[in-house]
Chains A and B, each alone.
Chain A
Amino acid sequence: MIPVKETPAEPAVEADAAEADDLTPEQLAAQWEEEKPPAAGALANAASSLVVLGVGIAAVVLSVAMGLGTPASPQPGLWPFIISCVMVALGLFQLIAGRHNRDAEKFTRMSTAPLTGLVTLAAMVALMPLIGFELPALVLCVIWMRFLGGETWRATLVVSASVVIAFYGIFVLALGTSIPHLF
């Protein structure tokens, strides 16, 4: 018997519910299917299969170089050799049989978000040993919230600052870890 306080957004909910009315499970599944990011084509499959093949072949070569030996007295390379052969076989199979698969996703304009995220993460890893974690973490928070997440400047700055202060408190003051820090 615990009523949850209702926000004044009632009309919006109503409208939304009306628009998405009474979907059967099948229709709902179809709707989800539509909302999925666009599928990538045969090129993506070829590219990923070739990467798999490349890794597999490189591993085969390196394993052979380590020496195979016999099943009774194996050299270090035998087990990696077996796996990498399986990998090459699977890569070839995928290259040919997976041409019409639609389980890969296209890179779209939205993909710039994870790319930006990655760049900030890499920058943070590079800068942390030099200037400590506080400033890179602050910049990362601001970029992720303001530019990737579309928060307002005010919310971004308040939350970012509190996050960094909280992490300083937890990791440096409370736990006393040796994380590189500036202050």
Chain B
Amino acid sequence: MDFLNPVINGFVVVLEPTNLLYCLIGVVIGMLIGVLPGLGPAATIAILLPLTYNVEPVTAIIMLAGIFYGAQYGGTITSVLLRLPGEASSVVTVFDGYQMAKQGKAGTALGLAAIGSFIGGTAAIIGLTFLAPIVASFALDFGPPEYTALALLGILLVATISNGSKAKALIAAALGLLLATVGRDIFTGASRFTFGNLQLADGIDFVPIAMGLFGLGEILYNLEERHRAAKAPSKVTNVWPSRNDLKQASGAIGRGSVLGFFLGILPGGGATIASMASYAMEKKRAKQPERFGKGAPEGVAGPETANNAAATSSFIPLLTLGIPANATMALMFGALLIQGVTPGPQLVEQNPELFWGVVNSMYIGNILLLIMSLPLVGIFVKILRVRAAILAPVTALITLLGAYTINNSMFDVTLVVVFGIVGYLMKKFGFEPGPLVLAFVLGELLESSMRRSLLVFGGDPTGFFGRPISATLLVVFVLVAVLPVIRGAAAKRKASTPAVTAASEIKEKV
């Protein structure tokens, strides 16, 4: 029962009024931005980072986590009602959800999605509760070489799994690593890439980079892409699915929970991939696959369950290894660093209140979200009437003023605008900003563990292969790096196969 003590203490932390309030704020914001097409959870979290400065670490992460999984619930609403995916992870919900809405079953689709999300999310939290301490205790023996290999693998996986050109994602990652070196070299104290600027002497802060690239960059990008005005949503009645619907969808919910949980743990995985994989799996398993795309309840329940499970389980690598699995987790990592907490295997032991507080807050958050998405769904549908033209300047101003409040300096605001330009141009030219931010966050860890390892190995890089765990990780690294090249060559040889699946095309759209 000793194991359960910190878990129960975690509930005590969550039930503090402040934490409950921030949990509520987080999931409401998450729901809102999920409903509004345009800003994604990563952008929102980036913009709201300054809010977390004056609160306890656990409170801050509870709120940010709420935004993340709340957005998974909210994204469903626009997918079903308007055929506009509010979030990348809800794209596949459009296919069957919108068809169901047209058949007058919008309420059923939303209800199934909400119940599936709740079950998937809760299952993933339970999995997280049991798996995370095991992973963390395993990783406690990790030394600098293992961390070097892990960070390299994490960056590579995020870059390879991202949408679009892999070379471009790797370029973005390299730029992130380079930006992380700006400032004082921790080993020798020499200044690097500061160009004599005193404000760069301590390096570039994470927050302006994240706010600029994810926040302002996305706002600017959206100015160009006029979102089609949200049409009046069709009638939402009877959000409680019938027993028959539930029975039909229960298998999909079960499979989605498991699939989402495991895809969320993988670096580079996450909600979007999980929802697509679940849709593909449900379609493949179905006795009548032709029903899919014509309003099959499994096609809504499965992906929606999977994206929530994945959103939750992607906290595992962050909280146990200190390696963010995707761009949003990189933002959480940054937020924790700001608070003076370094995520890693020692977190469960040294900071149990934080760890279990955040994990257990997700139970509360999921219950709140279930309440908001079933009886209160009508309120959120009304939010769709807020026009993007009004939202854009408000978010831009929040970003600028928020950036000022970090250090009360105009320099940070300038940095945000500069990185906003960079982020906009990157998106225009097909570079994902995600790998850049992730690499930036991991840059210092990577450099210092690599240099420490080399000191231990006496400057011999083959030493990394002398330790079983780092050797394994590096072999995986090489495999991941080389495999696409081989596969590309093989694909060229039999170029006559036009096997373009719908999923891969959609991936490019998002």
> Is A148 a contact partner of B223 (Cβ separation < 8 A)?
yes
Q: CA–CA, A29 to B504, complex, Å?
A: 9
> Is A171 a contact partner of B224 (Cβ separation < 8 A)?
no
* Interface mask (A97-120 → B, CB under 8 Å = 1, otherwise 0): 110010111011011011001100
- Most-contacted residue by chain B among A1, A25, A48, A175 (CB, 10 A): A25
Q: How far is the CB of A147 from chain B (nearest CB, A)?
A: 10
Q: CA–CA, A121 to B269, complex, Å?
A: 35
* Interface mask (A69-87 → B, CB under 8 Å = 1, otherwise 0): 0111111110110011011
> Is A98 a contact partner of B167 (Cβ separation < 8 A)?
yes
> Is A62 a contact partner of B387 (Cβ separation < 8 A)?
no
* Interface mask (B370-400 → A, CB under 8 Å = 1, otherwise 0): 0000011110011000011110111011001
Within 8 A of A (CB), among B85-109: 92, 94-95, 99, 102
A62: chain B residues within 8 A (beta carbon): 193
- Interface check B143, CB cutoff 8 A: no
B408: chain A residues within 8 A (beta carbon): 177-178
> Is A117 a contact partner of B390 (Cβ separation < 8 A)?
no
B255: chain A residues within 8 A (beta carbon): none
- Most-contacted residue by chain B among A70, A103, A128, A163 (CB, 10 A): A103
Contact among A79, A80, A105, A133 with B401 in the assembled complex (CB-CB below 8 Å): A133
Q: In the complex, which range does the number of interface residues on chain B fall in?
A: 35 or more
- Interface check B271, CB cutoff 8 A: no
Q: CA–CA, A83 to B171, complex, Å?
A: 10
Q: How far is the CB of B295 from chain A (nearest CB, A)?
A: 10
Q: Which chain B residue has the least Cβ–Cβ distance from A95? A: B167
> Is B193 a contact partner of A80 (Cβ separation < 8 A)?
yes
> Is A37 a contact partner of B397 (Cβ separation < 8 A)?
no
> Is A177 a contact partner of B404 (Cβ separation < 8 A)?
yes
Q: Which chain B residue has the least Cβ–Cβ distance from A73? A: B459
Q: How far is the CB of B380 from chain A (nearest CB, A)?
A: 10
Q: How far is the CB of A116 from chain B (nearest CB, A)?
A: 8
A75: chain B residues within 8 A (beta carbon): 188
From known contacts A87-B175, A177-B404, infer whether A97 and B233 are also in contact, taking CB-CB under 8 Å.
no
> Is A76 a contact partner of B190 (Cβ separation < 8 A)?
yes
A55: chain B residues within 8 A (beta carbon): 175, 178
Q: How far is the CB of B481 from chain A (nearest CB, A)?
A: 11
From known contacts A48-B429, A90-B167, A149-B387, infer whether A117 and B188 are also in contact, taking CB-CB under 8 Å.
no
> Is A90 a contact partner of B170 (Cβ separation < 8 A)?
yes
Contact among B190, B410, B459 with A128 in the assembled complex (CB-CB below 8 Å): B410
Q: How far is the CB of B102 from chain A (nearest CB, A)?
A: 6
> Is B174 a contact partner of A83 (Cβ separation < 8 A)?
yes
> Is B393 a contact partner of A179 (Cβ separation < 8 A)?
no
> Is A101 a contact partner of B458 (Cβ separation < 8 A)?
no
From known contacts A3-B236, A4-B233, A111-B224, infer whether A80 and B181 are also in contact, taking CB-CB under 8 Å.
yes
Q: CA–CA, A72 to B239, complex, Å?
A: 65
Q: CA–CA, A113 to B225, complex, Å?
A: 9
Q: In the complex, which range does the number of interface residues on chain A fall in?
A: 35 or more
From known contacts A70-B459, A72-B459, infer whether A163 and B394 are also in contact, taking CB-CB under 8 Å.
yes
> Is B237 a contact partner of A171 (Cβ separation < 8 A)?
no
Contact among B83, B375, B376, B461 with A71 in the assembled complex (CB-CB below 8 Å): B461
Q: CA–CA, A12 to B375, complex, Å?
A: 27
> Is B509 a contact partner of A93 (Cβ separation < 8 A)?
no
> Is A86 a contact partner of B401 (Cβ separation < 8 A)?
no
> Is A9 a contact partner of B390 (Cβ separation < 8 A)?
no
B506: chain A residues within 8 A (beta carbon): 25, 29, 32
From known contacts A76-B192, A149-B389, infer whether A37 and B224 are also in contact, taking CB-CB under 8 Å.
yes
From known contacts A4-B378, A121-B417, infer whether A26 and B502 are also in contact, taking CB-CB under 8 Å.
yes
Contact among B95, B377, B390 with A25 in the assembled complex (CB-CB below 8 Å): B95
Q: CA–CA, A148 to B222, complex, Å?
A: 11
B455: chain A residues within 8 A (beta carbon): 72
Q: CA–CA, A97 to B484, complex, Å?
A: 14
> Is B102 a contact partner of A6 (Cβ separation < 8 A)?
no
> Is B430 a contact partner of A103 (Cβ separation < 8 A)?
yes
Q: Which chain A residue has the least Cβ–Cβ distance from B174? A: A87
Interface residues of A (CB under 8 A from B): 1-7, 9-10, 12-13, 16-17, 20, 22, 24-26, 28-30, 32-33, 36-37, 40, 44, 47-48, 52, 55-56, 59, 62, 66, 70-77, 79-80, 83-84, 86-87, 90-91, 93-94, 97-98, 101, 103-105, 107-108, 110-111, 113-114, 117-118, 121-122, 124-125, 128-129, 133, 137, 140-141, 144-145, 148-151, 155, 159-160, 163, 167, 171, 175, 177-179
Interface residues of B (CB under 8 A from A): 83, 92, 94-95, 99, 102, 164-165, 167-168, 170-171, 174-175, 177-178, 181, 185, 187-188, 190, 192-193, 216, 219-221, 223-226, 231-240, 292-294, 375-378, 381-382, 387-390, 392-394, 396-397, 400-401, 404-405, 408, 410, 413-414, 417, 420-421, 424, 427-431, 447, 450-451, 454-455, 458-461, 502, 505-506, 508-509
A-B contact pairs, 16 of them (CB 8 A): A25-B292, A29-B505, A29-B509, A52-B171, A66-B192, A71-B454, A77-B192, A80-B178, A80-B192, A94-B168, A105-B430, A114-B424, A133-B401, A137-B397, A149-B387, A177-B405
